Amino acid sequence: MALRWIWDEQKAAANLRKHKLSFGVAALALDDPHALIDPDLHQDGDRWDVLCQINGTTLFVVLAW
């Protein structure tokens, strides 16, 4: 079963401006079979810190839901 991601378009645009990384690319973080994933207990809700490689580039991504 494939995951389907949805996000707030205004937050996605702000993230792209701030970090130069689209939410669509960031969502690929969980496709890396060697990704290191750690829960991040945050006051705003559940978040996960992910260290991964996407297209040969090492990234640190924070996923929230």
* pLDDT for 16: 96
What single letter denotes the amino acid at residue 18?
A: K
Is residue 1 scored above 70 in pLDDT? no
* pLDDT for 41: 85
Q: Which residues pair with 47 in a beta bridge?
A: 40, 64
**DSSP string of 9-36?**
HHHHHHHHHHHS--HHHHGGGGG-TT-E
**Segment 5-28 mean pLDDT:** 92
Summarised one tens digit per residue, pLDDT across range 17-54 is: 999 999 988 888 888 999 999 998 878 778 889 999 98
